[in-house]
Amino acid sequence: MLNKSKKFMSFGKMPIANNFLDKKNFNNEYFFDMEVAFNEEKSLLHLKNFPKPSQMFNENYKFFTSTSNYMINHFENFASKITKKFLKNGAKVIEIGCNDGTLLNFFQSKGFECLGFEPSSNVADLAEKKGLKVIKNFFSSEFCDENFRKKTDLICAANVICHIPDLDNLIKGIDSFLSDKGVFIFEEPYLGSMFEKISYDQIYDEHIYIFSISSIKKLFEKYGFELFLAEPQITHGGSMRYFIRRKNANGEVYNIDSLLEVEKNKKLDNLESCLDFKNNCEISKEKTLKKLKFFKNKGLKISGYAATSKSTTILNYCKIGTDIIDCIYDTTPEKIGKFSPGMHIPIIDYKNFQNNYPDVAYLFAWNHKEEITKKESVFLNKGGKWFSHVQL
């Protein structure tokens, strides 16, 4: 599907972004060449190569939706809004990549018949504990439950469609589950926001694709589906919510043409914007290192805050190790006590932050800035400084 893509940049050797590891595994850590390409035919930015999905999504998966109260609230609103607009009593709902069940549970508590797909069994177990029915596998038409075949009113997904290597197969799966008038609604990090913020840390092994309205429209129309609405979201540093249905459902198409025009003006549909982005990444890397070294030369102590998957790209691309950042504070029990992928910075329980305030904290979860800076307001009051490569 993407054989005419052009490689336009490389981030160098990258480890698995969520593989927070023990010291004993430092020597057998897996690395891959993280090269990025753009396909002009499909207007699609993608990784040229990436680890096998089972290397990333398995019983040791370390991302849990419910670690962010902001995201819990976001998904509650998602469920309410979509229910009002699209669902009737007795509707059937599928979620792809339901993780710990945060979003799907909001639909279940409204009385809908729900089914989740989740290959990472540790997080799937948490969803099951909430009483949700979960197929512990990658989404596929192979697992088409007769109860849901061509009868599903809503298929929803968040931050997972960009993880799925074979998009043709994904769309075939959507086709086998969705009812005639059903809708597929999903939200993913948005190319336009990444280019604008120079948030290159959105690119890591799991994010095989960074979508735009142009790319989603092209991908789906090939299979008789129609993008009929797109809504920008502020989550995860700038995302887009896409609304898809069968073309022959003959419904109204809303803001797509005007948004496509905006993307065309910003050259998001061609390689030119990618080359600008590449230059901007190099400048950002230089500036980040210069600033961090400036802090260090002044004798300031620098720590990291939130061991995000995004931080793996920043640390490995800029080659920031314990010579610059002493540790990273985080809330996730599965990460605490381990070391960051590739650069091996220790991960410490966030509860210790207040007893060891650094002079500067690199906020790796810049997308959760409001939630975190509020929770850690004393840090600023005591003279601490938040830092990031994106504007905070």
Site residues, ligand TMP (CB under 6 A): 63, 67-68, 306-310, 330-332, 335, 350, 365, 368, 371-372, 375
Q: Which of residues 68-87 bind ligand SAH (CB under 6 A)?
A: 71
Residue from 160, 208, 229, 314 touching ligand SAH (CB under 6 A): that is 160
* 223 half-sphere exposure, CB direction, 13 A CA radius: 19
The option from ligand SAH, ligand TMP, none interacting with 235 (CB < 5 to 8 A, set by class) reads: none
The option from ligand TMP, ligand SAH, none interacting with 361 (CB < 5 to 8 A, set by class) reads: none
Residue from 164, 210, 268, 361 touching ligand SAH (CB under 6 A): that is 164
> Based on CB atoms, which residue is closest to ligand SAH, 61 or 379?
61
Query: In the chain, count of helices (H) and strands (E)?
Result: 12, 16
> Based on CB atoms, which residue is closest to ligand SAH, 164 or 178?
164
> Based on CB atoms, which residue is closest to ligand SAH, 205 or 269?
205
CB of residue 355 to ligand SAH, shortest distance in Å: 30
Per CB under 6 A, 209 contacts ligand SAH = no
Q: In what order do the strands lie in the sheet with 328-330?
A: 347-349, 328-330, 302-305, 360-363, 385-387
> Based on CB atoms, which residue is closest to ligand TMP, 288 or 367?
367
Structure-block tokens of residue 29: 């850590």
Q: In what order do the strands lie in the sheet with 209-210?
A: 6-15, 31-39, 44-47, 209-210
- Alpha-carbon torsion (356, 358, 363, 368), positive or negative: positive
Determine the residue type at 61: Y
CB of residue 335 to ligand TMP, shortest distance in Å: 6
Residue 358 CA, chain-centre distance (Å), reads: 29
Per CB under 6 A, 240 contacts ligand SAH = no
CB of residue 236 to ligand SAH, shortest distance in Å: 8
Q: Which of 163, 144, 165, 166 is nearest to 155 (CA)?
A: 144
> Based on CB atoms, which residue is closest to ligand SAH, 93 or 324?
93
218 and 43 in contact (C-beta within 8 Å)? Answer: yes
CB of residue 316 to ligand SAH, shortest distance in Å: 20
Q: Which of 92, 99, 138, 137 is nearest to 115 (CA)?
A: 92
Per CB under 6 A, 97 contacts ligand SAH = yes
